[in-house]
Amino acid sequence: MRILFAIKSISHFAYVSSIVRSLDNGGHAVRVLFDFDCSRESNVKHSLDFLSSSRNTDMGWMGKEKPSVLQDIEGFKPDVVVVSPGNHRDSAEIQYVGVAKDLSVPTVIMALSWDNLTTKGQFLHKPDKLFVWNETHKQDAVDIHGFDSSNIYVTGAPFFDKWFGSKVLLETKYQFCKRIGVDYFEPAFMYMGSSANIAIDESWLIEELRHHTDIILRPHPANYRRYLWMNKKGVTVYPRQGRLIENDEDISDFHLSFEYASCVFGINTSAMIDAIVLDKPCVTLISGRYTETQSDKDHFKLILPAMYVCNSLGELVDRILNLSHGNDSMSEQRKKWVKDFIRPYGLEVSAGEVAAKFIVENVI
Q: Is residue 294 part of a domain?
A: yes
Q: Tell me: do 142 and 269 sit in the same domain.
A: no
Lowest-confidence segment of 224-233, 273-282, 284-293 by average pLDDT: 224-233
Q: CA 46, CA 52: separation in Å to the nearest integer?
A: 10
Q: Is residue 168 part of a domain?
A: no
Q: Tell me: do 197 and 322 sit in the same domain.
A: yes
What one-letter code names the amino acid at 160? F
Q: Tell me: do 325 and 354 sit in the same domain.
A: no
CB of 141 closer than 8 Å to CB of 132: yes
Contacts of 197 (CB under 8 A, 6+ apart): 293
Q: What is the pLDDT of residue 282?
A: 97
Report the mean per-residue pLDDT for the chain. Answer: 91
CB of 177 closer than 8 Å to CB of 171: no
Res. 74: pLDDT tops 90: yes
Q: Is residue 189 part of a domain?
A: yes
DSSP letters spanning 44-80: -HHHHHHHHH-SSEEEEE--SSHHHHHHHHHHH--SE
Quick one: which H or E segment has residue 97?
helix 95-102
Q: What is the pLDDT of residue 133?
A: 97
Q: Which domain holds residue 8?
A: 2-162+344-363
Q: What is the pLDDT of residue 85?
A: 95
Q: Tell me: do 337 and 189 sit in the same domain.
A: yes
What one-letter code names the amino acid at 115? D
Q: What is the pLDDT of residue 17?
A: 92
What pTM was estimated for this model as a whole? 0.91
Q: Tell me: do 178 and 218 sit in the same domain.
A: yes
Lowest-confidence segment of 46-60, 145-159, 191-205, 299-313 by average pLDDT: 46-60
pLDDT in tens, 111-120: 999 998 998 8
Q: Tell me: do 148 and 40 sit in the same domain.
A: yes
Q: Is residue 167 part of a domain?
A: no
Q: Tell me: do 55 and 34 sit in the same domain.
A: yes
Q: Is residue 224 part of a domain?
A: yes
Q: Tell me: do 195 and 157 sit in the same domain.
A: no
What pLDDT band is residue 55 in, cutting at 50, 70 and 90? confident
Res. 191: pLDDT tops 70: yes
Between the CA of residue 253 and those of 109, 181, 243, what are the distances in Å?
Answer: 32, 14, 10
pLDDT in tens, 303-343: 999 999 999 999 999 999 999 999 999 999 999 999 999 99
Domain containing 45 — which CATH number? 3.40.50.2000
Bridge partner list, 282: 264
Q: Tell me: do 90 and 187 sit in the same domain.
A: no
Range of 214-228, 250-264, 297-311 with top mean pLDDT = 297-311
pLDDT in tens, 142-177: 999 999 999 999 999 999 999 998 677 778 888 888
Alpha-helix residue ranges (DSSP H) falling in 248-309: 248-260, 271-277, 298-303
Domains held by the chain: number: 2
Bridge partner list, 131: 110, 153
Domain containing 223 — which CATH number? 3.40.50.12580
Q: In what order do the strands lie in the sheet with 235-237?
A: 235-237, 214-218, 188-192, 264-266, 282-285, 308-310
Res. 127: pLDDT tops 70: yes
Q: In what order do the strands lie in the sheet with 152-154?
A: 57-61, 29-34, 2-7, 80-84, 107-110, 129-132, 152-154
Q: Is residue 321 part of a domain?
A: yes
Range of 40-54, 162-176, 267-281 with top mean pLDDT = 267-281
Bridge partner list, 30: 3, 57
Q: Tell me: do 227 and 143 sit in the same domain.
A: no
- In terms of Cα–Cα distance, which of 196, 162, 16 is closest to 93? 16
Q: Is residue 215 part of a domain?
A: yes
Res. 41: pLDDT tops 90: no
Strands 57-61 vs 129-132: parallel, antiparallel or unpaired: unpaired
Strands 80-84 vs 107-110: parallel, antiparallel or unpaired: parallel
Q: Tell me: do 147 and 8 sit in the same domain.
A: yes
Q: Tell me: do 268 and 302 sit in the same domain.
A: yes
Bridge partner list, 132: 154
Res. 358: pLDDT tops 70: yes
Res. 50: pLDDT tops 80: no
Strands 188-192 vs 214-218: parallel, antiparallel or unpaired: parallel
Q: Is residue 18 part of a domain?
A: yes
Q: How does 2-18 read in b/e, with b if 16+ C-beta sit within 10 Å?
A: ebbbbbbbbbbbbbbbb
